[in-house]
Amino acid sequence: MLVLVGVIIGVYLFSPPTVAVASITTSLPGCPSKCGNLTVPYPFGIGSNSGCSIGPWFDIICNTSFNPPKALLPPDLFSYSGGLHSVEVVDISDEHVRIKNSISSNCYNQTGGLVQDVRSGLTVYDSYFTLSSEKNKLFGIGCDDYFFFHPVQGIEGKDFTSGCVSLCKDVKDVISSTAAPPCSGTGCCATSLPTGLKTYIASQFTLDSHTKVWSFNKCGYTFIGEENAFDFRGASDLADPDFVNRIASTVPVVLDWVIGSTSSCDDYKNTSDYYCQDNSICVDFKGGGYRCSCNKGYQGNPYLSPGCYDINECAADSNNPCDGTCTNLPGSFNCSCPYGYQGDGRKDGSGCTTSNNSKSPALKLSLGLGFGFLSILIGMGWLYFIRHKRKVIKLREKYFLKNGGMLLKQQIDSNDGGDGVMINHSTKIFTTEELEKATKNFSDERVLGRGGYGTVYKGILPDGSIVAIKKSRVMDDSQIEQFINEVVILSQINHRNVVKLLGCCLESEVPLLVYECVSNGTLFHHIHDENGAWLSLENRLRIAVESAGALAYLHSAASKPIIHRDVKSANILLDENMVTKVSDFGASRLIPLDQTQVTTLVQGTLGYLDPEYFHTSQLTDKSDVYSFGVVLLELLTGKKPLCMERSQAERNLATYFLVSLRKNKLFQILDPRVVREGSVEQLQAIASLVSRCLNMNGYDRPTMKEVAMQLDALSL
């Protein structure tokens, strides 16, 4: 009898039951689920105001005049390039909607004449869709071009311009993505998108109208699209007449979608706008809104009633998880072994094996093994903790040496003549713990700003003083000695109009710099984002005099000449008394006393960048003079140095000013308040000084000391 029972149990053990799995419903009852080759899952629905979607912003228009039919987004919610024409959908997933692309292009003839000018863009008029910053990038294709994208003003709550440059002199220099890092700036460049962007306009500009590369590159292209879908093919892309159609068909734009436009899951629960059904979880979306997702062990459409249904793990013959008896549970399953067998019953565990031992010895053995294993785990935990602590200490020592800690100590000793950690009795070497505590472990809520060279955090030191802590993105090992020298030099700068360097930390992966905190924002913010009521001509000239004096000090009065290299209104800060503070020396270079120029990789900000430095890579103190000329022009006109919204002739402020000056139209470009408050002679003298600063030949520009002296005389 026992043998018969064992046989029956064995047959049951290795023959798990088969249960039919329910089909997954994707759309509301009575509503179509496909448009051509596209599956349209709820909360999306096919038809305008058909009741098949959650709301009109999730309606999909199925145009059957095409074969196969095309799925389109509502034309009153989406548009390309400013026109309210339909946007085609190629894929809908749990988190994203992929749409067909729009390409911007400029093409030229052999003499540099513009034969094609197409600008692309996208506008989303609701709050449920945003461009995916994780999936998309801006791509620029060409050998004589620089590319930009910016939001549509009046719709987007952001105001910025971002882009990249792609240059090459010979077709042999152009390398495809398979042979080099993708879009690294030779024939193709790329840049990331900010989070939460809802609109964009993409455009490109040329340096020499493609006349030098026309034989192999007649056009420049730019577009925003899915990063993983684009593969740069090298020189063949530059000459492909079908490039625009190929990109439009193969590289989609990815949109993030959410339910609800603001707030979070907790705010929507218990309201009519909460759509997560049974056995699903609500997930907050950064920026507002939410999505629904089935709980672990469940599947289906979480937006459709009655919700997600249990996955019967025991129903699959080939993928049954149990080696013994499988019992399906809500959202899970349980494996067990029949009488006469032992183990956990799982295929990925110990399974089921026959046992000849009595229960009691097996129980004792199990308890003994369990306690022994627990003791081993506790011991290993202590060993891991001790080892991890030692590893952290060694890692910080490694970073300290890597970041030039010994070199800095030598500099300290030579400056202080002692063993302390102070340079000139004011600059301190901070520990990692001090700065982590001051910034709440570099929390996002302490971020003051992000730039091309790193992120600036607000820090509160134990004595209550507020500082700005700059965390660089990367540190070039070959530049360690220069970085340490720069720290020492900047720590010795004592000028009321230069942001003071208070100290540094070398124990982290990248060095951290600690500056005094300047609380009243940037000059750029006050000129362009505020009403600027306090910006009288007197105050504008005072700011110009203070900034020029600080730059003149850096160029000539510091122990070693310092070229700022990124002079712009966004790097000129104002304190609580509206006193000027020149900041952000992330791109600055120290110039040996026996040299007047150095050769560097071109860095700076478009609109402020010295054209002579851009073309020759020869950096001199006159490069700062050009950039300051643009800042001075910005103060006088109240206009941005580079603005894609202005006409072609007015986009570059420096060029527009010089042309206006030659045509005797100076007073038409100046800010009306400046014209009212200044005399004709004073404004003409300032304009003449700006013109000299913007001279294309750096040799003919004045020095910063001359600029400061002339401005000081004109402000009286």
Long-range CB pairs of 306-310, under 8 A, 24+ apart, other chains included = 306/277, 306/278, 307/277, 307/278, 307/279, 307/280, 308/277, 308/278, 308/279, 308/280, 309/22, 309/279, 310/279
Q: 237-262: per-residue pLDDT in tens?
A: 999 999 999 999 999 999 999 988 77
Between 601 and 508, the more confident residue is 508
Regarding whether 580 and 497 lie in a shared domain, the answer is no
Give the pairing of strands 512-516 and 34-35. Answer: unpaired
Could you tell me if residue 270 is inside a domain? no
Respond yes or no: is residue 208 known to be catalytic: no
Give the pairing of strands 59-63 and 104-108. Answer: unpaired
Nearest to 141 by CA among 238, 252, 253: 238
Whole-number pLDDT of residue 137: 94
Sign of CA dihedral 356, 359, 363, 364: negative
Whole-number pLDDT of residue 485: 65
Q: 361-394: per-residue pLDDT in tens?
A: 666 677 778 888 888 888 888 888 887 777 766 7
From 59, 256, 566, 624, the catalytic residue: 566
Regarding whether 608 and 501 lie in a shared domain, the answer is no
Could you tell me if residue 317 is inside a domain? no
Which residues on neighbouring strands pair with residue 563, listed in sequence order?
Answer: 589
Locate the DSSP E strands across 401-446: 422-423, 427-429
- φ, ψ of residue 375 to 5 degrees: the values are -65, -40
- Cis (ω within 30 of 0) for the bond into 68? yes
Whole-number pLDDT of residue 254: 96
Regarding whether 508 and 538 lie in a shared domain, the answer is no
Percent of the chain with pLDDT over 70: 83
Regarding whether 531 and 634 lie in a shared domain, the answer is yes
Q: What is the mean pLDDT of residues 553-582?
A: 86
Instruction: Please name the helix (run of DSSP H) or strand (run of DSSP E) that holds residue 630, with its range, or none.
Output: helix 621-637
60: confidence class by pLDDT, cuts 50, 70, 90: very high
Locate the DSSP E strands across 521-635: 562-563, 572-574, 580-582, 589-590, 598-599, 618-619
Q: Amino acid letter at 262?
A: T
Angle at 40 between CA 34 and CA 46, to 5 degrees: 75
Concatenate the DSSP letters of all residues of 631-679 into one string: HHHHHHH---SB-TTS-GGGSBHHHHHHHHHHTT-HHHHS-HHHHHHS-
What's the number of CA atoms in the CB half-sphere (13 Å) around residue 479?
A: 14
Q: What is the mean pLDDT of residues 257-268?
A: 84
Between 682 and 616, the more confident residue is 682
Instruction: Please name the helix (run of DSSP H) or strand (run of DSSP E) that holds residue 220, with its range, or none.
Output: strand 219-226
Q: In what side-by-side order are the strands of the sheet with 219-226?
A: 114-118, 104-108, 219-226, 136-141, 188-191
Q: Amino acid letter at 295?
A: N
- Collapsing DSSP to helix, strand or coil, 689 comes out as helix
324: confidence class by pLDDT, cuts 50, 70, 90: confident
Q: What is the CATH number for 577?
A: 1.10.510.10
Whole-number pLDDT of residue 338: 83
Could you tell me if residue 357 is inside a domain? no
Regarding whether 563 and 705 lie in a shared domain, the answer is yes
Q: 167-203: per-residue pLDDT in tens?
A: 999 998 888 777 667 788 889 999 999 888 888 888 8
Q: What is the mean pLDDT of residues 574-581?
A: 91
707: confidence class by pLDDT, cuts 50, 70, 90: very high
Could you tell me if residue 194 is inside a domain? yes
Q: What is the CATH number for 463?
A: 3.30.200.20
> Token digits for 368?
């003994």
- Does residue 620 surpass a pLDDT of 70? yes
Cα torsion at 214, 219, 220, 221 (round to 10°)? -150
Whole-number pLDDT of residue 476: 62
Whole-number pLDDT of residue 31: 93
- Collapsing DSSP to helix, strand or coil, 371 comes out as helix
Regarding whether 422 and 544 lie in a shared domain, the answer is no
- Cis (ω within 30 of 0) for the bond into 306? yes
Could you tell me if residue 627 is inside a domain? yes
Mean pLDDT, the chain, as a whole number?
83
Locate the DSSP E strands across 109-207: 114-118, 120-124, 129-131, 136-141, 144-150, 162-167, 188-191, 199-206
pTM score: 0.50
- Does residue 204 surpass a pLDDT of 50? yes
Among the three residues 482, 516, 550, which one is the final residue of a domain in this structure?
516
Whole-number pLDDT of residue 716: 67
Report the alpha-carbon distance of residue 458 to residue 443 in Å, rounded: 10
Q: What is the mean pLDDT of residues 8-18?
A: 35
Report the alpha-carbon distance of residue 449 to residue 440 in Å, rounded: 16
Regarding whether 554 and 429 lie in a shared domain, the answer is no
Whole-number pLDDT of residue 124: 82
Could you tell me if residue 281 is inside a domain? no
Q: What is the mean pLDDT of residues 581-609?
A: 65
Whole-number pLDDT of residue 1: 34
598: confidence class by pLDDT, cuts 50, 70, 90: low
Q: Amino acid letter at 456?
A: V
Q: What is the mean pLDDT of residues 500-516?
A: 84
- φ, ψ of residue 118 to 5 degrees: the values are -125, 125
Whole-number pLDDT of residue 600: 54
State how many domains the chain has.
Answer: 3
What's the number of CA atoms in the CB half-sphere (13 Å) around residue 521?
A: 9
Among the three residues 469, 499, 516, which one is the final residue of a domain in this structure?
516
Structural domain including 647 reads 523-714
Whole-number pLDDT of residue 358: 44
Among the three residues 257, 289, 318, which one is the final residue of a domain in this structure?
257
Q: 123-149: per-residue pLDDT in tens?
A: 887 778 999 999 999 999 999 999 988
- Does residue 14 surpass a pLDDT of 50? no
Of 54-68, 91-105, 238-252, 497-511, least confident by mean pLDDT is: 497-511
Tokens 């002692």 correspond to what residue?
418
- Does residue 359 surpass a pLDDT of 80? no
- List of residues 6+ apart from 673 with CB closer than 8 A: 535, 536, 537
- Does residue 419 surpass a pLDDT of 50? no
Regarding whether 485 and 622 lie in a shared domain, the answer is no
Which residues on neighbouring strands pair with residue 204, listed in sequence order?
Answer: 147
- Does residue 668 surpass a pLDDT of 50? yes
Regarding whether 632 and 601 lie in a shared domain, the answer is yes
CB 96 within 8 A of CB 254: yes
Report the alpha-carbon distance of residue 669 to residue 675 in Å, rounded: 10
Report the alpha-carbon distance of residue 559 to residue 491 in Å, rounded: 11
Whole-number pLDDT of residue 427: 67
Nearest to 151 by CA among 213, 103, 197: 197
Q: What is the mean pLDDT of residues 106-121?
A: 91
Q: Amino acid letter at 503?
A: G
Could you tell me if residue 684 is inside a domain? yes
CB 251 within 8 A of CB 226: yes
22: confidence class by pLDDT, cuts 50, 70, 90: very low
Regarding whether 677 and 587 lie in a shared domain, the answer is yes
The 8-class DSSP code of residue 259 comes to B
- List of residues 6+ apart from 92 with CB closer than 8 A: 38, 39, 40, 41, 44, 98
Concatenate the DSSP letters of all residues of 75-93 into one string: TTTEEETTB---EEEEEE-
Whole-number pLDDT of residue 648: 79
Could you tell me if residue 697 is inside a domain? yes
Report the alpha-carbon distance of residue 604 to residue 421 in Å, rounded: 33
Q: In what side-by-side order are the strands of the sheet with 129-131?
A: 45-46, 59-63, 70-73, 87-92, 96-99, 253-257, 129-131
Nearest to 224 by CA among 107, 135, 128: 135
Regarding whether 237 and 116 lie in a shared domain, the answer is yes
Regarding whether 479 and 411 lie in a shared domain, the answer is yes
- Does residue 226 surpass a pLDDT of 70? yes
CB 244 within 8 A of CB 105: yes
